[in-house]
Each structure stands twice: as C-alpha cells, then as structure tokens.
Amino acid sequence: MRFFDSHCHLTDAAYQDDLEETLERARAASVAGVVAVASTHTDSRDALGLACRHEAMMWSTAGLHPHHVDADPGGNEMSAVREAAAHQRCVAIGETGLDYHYDFAPRAAQRASFERHAELAAEVDLPLVVHSREAAEDTAAMVRECAGRVRGVLHCFPGPGELLEEALAAGWCVSFTGIVTFRGYDAELVQMVPPDRYMIETDGPYLAPVPKRGRRNEPAFVAHVAGAVARIRGEPLEKVAADTWANTVRFFGLPHANGEG
C-alpha cells in the first residue's frame, strides 16, 4: 500500500532545516509520491528544482496563489510560471483561484489571474490546481467556463455541495486535506464524490490532521487523511490508497509512476 500527497508546499521556509528528513519520514509512512505546489513565481522555479532533485517521488506545479497576485497586476510574473511549466517535471498550473476570506489581493485581480492561469493551462495542456475560499459562486462560474478545455482540481475542498456538483459536471476532481478530520467538516462531501474523482493531500505545512493537529504538517501525515476518508466512506484503507494513487497519477499525467496501487 502506498500514498500520494497531491499538494504540499515543500518550498515553504517551514521545511528549510529538515527537508531531507521530512522526505525520509514520508517514505517510512508509505508516501511514494508528492506534488510540490507553487504559490509565487519564485516558488515555481524552486518547486521545479526540488522535483528535479527528487525524481523518484516528486513533481511540481507552477503558478501564483490568489494571495500574491496583487504583486503581479500586469501579469509580468506569469513569464516565470510559463518557463517552469515547459519542463517535464512540472505537471500542473497553479495554485491559482480565489480567496475572498482574506482578500489579500483585490477580487478583480484574483479573477484576472485565475483566467490567465486557465488560459495557460489550456495552451500547454496541463491541469489546473485551484484554491477556493468563500468564493464558491465565482469559482463555480470559472469551472463552468473551463469545462471542456481545461481539467482541474478544487484542492483542500471545503464545500459547499453545490460547488462539488459543478466540479463533477465539468469533469473536474476535488482533493481532501486534514480538514476532513476536524469537527464540523461536512462528511457528506467525502461520501458524495465518486471513487475515481478525488485525491488526498496535506497542503503542508498547513492544516495538520488529527491526531497531529497543531504541528507543522508534512507529507507523512497524508496517511491520516486517507484513514479519515476511509472511515467516512466506509471503505478499506487499502481501497482509498489505491483509488487516490490511481486518480493522482491519471490527473497529473504520470504514467511512469504506475497507477497500480
């Protein structure tokens, strides 16, 4: 049995002192694949560098998180994203999307950046990794606009169910994090999604799952996410591990990673 952490911010400063030990712990926990997700133009380069140094288990993305798009009003930093996206170890565009909770960037700028990322994803034929927080209506509109030309994942999926239905109708996936272990999470979302349309992730260093809550999150903890999903779905852990491995390999286009979990 093996697990795939489909979304982790390994370029974050939280890992700078013990990244190799972090990856060793991941391997010891049966985590055999990790996608290092970018949030800025420098992240896009650094995540690619990590993926190139750890080819046996790691791939990367390229993109600008909605928190950071106010630094990129004219789209100039997208050139770094485009450059990273041209490399074979880069397997997706993002993390992009909308965050209306913090509003660190103007909402119009977030939407414009989201559109630029979707256009690039369509151009280079890579999937889109999407963040959505308190922006379900506008996210759903973008998902509908992308349907048929861009495949995507709503990462760290918070709901609501209506957004899940929009994603599934568009052929998209969703991904679950440690928040599925938190009190108050809508377990029905985990139960609703078909077995071939979801992934698991840590979103490290954030959102460590119970029983690790309060600690720095890391790829090894994705096994706890898988365990929680298995309990909620009433399925064996082995099935959740196999399904999410195969789904991640298929979504990111990693045939050489062998989807037989």
Structural domains in the chain plus CATH codes:
3-257 (3.20.20.140)
**Among residues 34, 35, 172, which one has the least CA distance to residue 95?**
35
> Does residue 174 surpass a pLDDT of 80?
yes
Q: Is the dihedral of CA 206, 184, 245, 60 positive or negative?
A: negative
pLDDT at 260 over 80: no
pLDDT-based confidence at 77, cuts 50/70/90? Answer: confident
Residues 149-175 have a mean pLDDT of: 97
Pair of tokens at residue 258: 């062998």
How do residues 184-209 score in pLDDT, each as one tens digit? 999 999 999 999 999 999 999 999 99
Run of H or E residues at 229 = helix 222-233
- Measured N-to-C along each axis, helices 41-53 and 78-85 cross at an angle, to the nearest 10 degrees, of 20
Q: Mean pLDDT of all residues in the chain?
A: 95
Per DSSP, 154 falls in state E
pLDDT, residue 71, reads: 62
Within 8 A by CB and 6+ apart from 102, the residues are: 67, 133
Q: How far apart are CA 177 and CA 182, in angstroms?
A: 10
The answer for residues whose C-beta is within 8 angstroms of residue 165's C-beta and 6 or more apart is: none
- Choose among 28, 37, 58: nearest CA to 257: 58
Question: Does 89 have pLDDT greater than 50?
Answer: yes
207: tokens are 């959102």
Residues in Cβ contact with 31 at an 8 Å cutoff, skipping those fewer than 6 apart:
2, 3, 4, 5, 57, 219, 220, 222, 223
Question: What is the arithmetic mean of pLDDT over 156-183?
Answer: 97
pLDDT score at 255: 76
Q: What CA–CA distance (Å, rounded) separates 241 from 223?
A: 9
Q: Using CA atoms, how far apart are residues 38 and 243, in angstroms rounded to an integer? A: 25
Residues contacting residue 194 through CB under 8 Å, at least 6 positions apart: 168
pLDDT in tens, 124-149: 999 999 999 999 999 999 999 999 99
- pLDDT band for position 261 (cuts 50, 70, 90): very low
Which residues does 115 contact at the CB level (< 8 Å), separation at least 6?
A: 142
Closest CA to 182 of 159, 165, 162: 159
**Residue % of the chain over a pLDDT of 90:** 93
